[in-house]
Amino acid sequence: MAKKIKSLGGRSLAKKPSNKGDMNKLLIEAQKAQAQMEEELNKLDEELSQMELEASAGGGVLKVIATGNMKIKDIILSEEIQEEDFDTIKDLIIAATNEVIQKVQDMKESKTNEISQKYLGQIPDFGY
């Protein structure tokens, strides 16, 4: 064991094992996990663009269909609604559209959180 020298602040001159290799390995693993997570998120975006969600208003007389990437695909009006005035129809369209957009956002957030938790769970706890 090396002697402690006062002029060096009492520090030992003995060689200490290096953690540099462990940190490099950890960094490489984190980068791989990040790439995998990004790949899954891109795949999710593709899947969402193919999904369709639906919301209705006025007891089902008006339906709005949107894709998972928030594009309105169709608005379906039943024959019953044709007798309503323009303002009522407009309000029903707004209500159903807002509802379907909220459904899409909730679904996307839920699926994104699942993917994030899958990869964030792999990060070691350093006790900070």
How high is the pLDDT of residue 89? Answer: 93
Answer whether residue 126 is part of any domain.
no
Three-state secondary structure call for residue 11 = coil
14 in a structural domain: no
In a domain, 108, yes or no: yes
Return the half-sphere exposure (C-beta side, CA atoms, 13 A cut-off) of residue 27. 6
Angle at 79 between CA 74 and CA 85, to 5 degrees: 90
| 73 in any annotated domain | yes
Query: How many domains in the chain?
Result: 1
What pLDDT, on a 0 to 100 scale, did the predictor assign at position 26?
A: 81
Specify the CATH number for the domain of residue 108.
Answer: 3.30.1310.10
Please check whether residue 48 is in contact with residue 67, taking contact to mean a CB–CB distance below 8 angstroms.
yes
Q: pTM of the predicted model, to two decimals? A: 0.68
Per-residue pLDDT of the chain (128 residues; tens, 9 = 90+): 555 555 555 565 555 555 666 778 888 888 888 888 899 999 998 998 899 999 999 999 999 999 998 999 999 999 998 888 999 999 999 999 999 999 999 999 999 988 888 877 755 555 54
Domain enclosing residue 59, as ranges = 35-120
Q: Is residue 91 part of a domain?
A: yes
The answer to whether residue 59 is domain-embedded is yes
8 Å CB contact between 72 and 63: no
Cβ distance 64 to 55 under 8 Å? yes
Residue 3 lies in a domain: no
